[in-house]
Structure 1
């Protein structure tokens, strides 16, 4: 499948479906059709509208779309995304709130590079903006990056994070979400040896696969069941002639999207059939719940082949992070070098992508970090999305994270102890979990 023809064929299938939707919508909307009232025509029109919109969204990067909000001065302040550091494969963005005094809390959100754009964290950004100066990693679509820019794998990703942290300085609190959790931990360990003064004050690691073997999911089972040769032959394609990255080997976003959809196919099928019925009845809106979610969910980006393959081989199969054997640019990244950065892990009890235990494994790697610098939280009943952008994040996790940041800022008064949820039961046999070292007090770092 490593051919431009395959990539172009997949893009042709997408554009064909978009055209079919547009054609059906246009045909059923033709004024003469009103002479023959028929519910079938309304269904055709609705199907066409939903289909055209869905397939069109797959190749469009969503806007940040962050509105102005009212600050303590009673005035509305406009939010402007500004590029702080521009690089070939990703930028560092600052959400500047115009006319507002700079906040003491400076937060770097490390967005995943797992098929979706950084805009997937829009709600997370919105929730933090009133209280923090928010920065985020905005990764680029690999199909738009010329081959002349070279490779980009997990080591390059880690070094990008190192550069971003150095740029922002040590008065920084980092929040990593999902896929970049182990690499963010590695970047901090790299800084601990290379430039200790550039380390952030705290790390909050949310739902990431530090040790995929700590608690199996369908994602980890897939990674263990296929060989690297099979992955390269079936998943990697070359960007076609339509884009600037022509010839670059990538893991296409459309393939990743099909994987996402297949994990919950019944739920997605019902969501689209219900939306078609709502459109046919005239009950749907431009910004209704369905469109708000799927406009973001369906917008996917390509990953470089070397990043996708090295993630599977080194993080999932080889467990280099979990074994403290990760190497960046020829240098062993030793997690025991982290001695001053407070680290908190957050997991969802019902997370079926990065199950409880996978992220908390980070605390066991930090052998030289005092227990009072470690903390963890398992959110009862929360799934993967909910722990960084859903109700669980807004109501429970966000306040805990802000308390953790304040407790380790060094320039703010300490917060009173916050009661955290008990550790959820994992799906891993108790005998294996029992061997894991545990911090003495899960609230210690938040005191």
Structure 2
């Protein structure tokens, strides 16, 4: 009888896959409203008469808070648990997106779309991915990181064409309410199925040695904010942190800030219907899923620094040719760009997470939170800069070319990230003195 129960236990899927599945659904739900900026810029411009620079300011605040919230959210997940933090974050997303239907002034757009949704989505940003994979997986970490990261792209894929159709048909308010409802439906799944650690349900992480007990978290007396700041001070002493943060800032500028926010209005400037442009952006999401999962698989096998260097170099090259590809219809050359760019969209995340985990050990998720914050700072700056560029020059060409050149710089910085110490006697694998000095 005992043997039979053992066999059944071995055949049953590990609870880590359930946790990963719930995390995926939560990330998809949050991504819905993250996909709407490009869809709503033109309707808001037409209804309220706001300039693209004004609307882009709200996008910028959203992107900034989305990033700056991340490291504190990672520390809060250590202190309060993933379930509480993620459920609360989804409620904030629903509240912010729902309240936008009542706005009459641009500051209200900033408050709802920028502040509330920025705080909510930031609390379950990519640090959530890093926390889940660090706690629940030893084996398949890279692949799972890729799949969960692709959840954001899947959210874009599911919501963007629908939201574009609603914005042009029933109206942008209906689109905002649909996103609010979608976020609310995910809350019960998170609350009842998500668990903080394998030890909470009498398990070990997937791939861990049988009976292995993970070291207890270090007790922090100063709270989540104090821990996040302490980790930042420690990481900031290393040159690798600044290379990772600088590269990821450019990553955010060239994806969420520029393409994610301004691709649809830029295509519309060339006569392309908004629904067609939204479909192309959603198609980026299709290929992003494949590219990110494959990048996660590669991150388990190839030096992550080489991967990052290649990803940034290829992305920069594609952005430099984008301005000549816009037209009133989706030509084959634009479709080739969409496929190429989609494969590279967030492929940078798995190798960046892997480097943070390897170099900074148990603080890797929080360090990645700060690196991700730089990603969103870059995205916020690019969102405003591109909007102002369009207002003053009448086109986006300077923004595309500038982003392409910055990606080349990111490729160089990525290749210069130092190697981590791999001494087996150091539990959290801190980098050695040579790394701290930037050797």
Normalised to the residue count of structure 1, the TM-score between the two structures is 0.24
Larger Rg: 1
Q: Whose helix proportion is higher, 1 or 2?
A: 2
Q: Which has the higher contact order (CA 8 A, sep 6+)?
A: 2
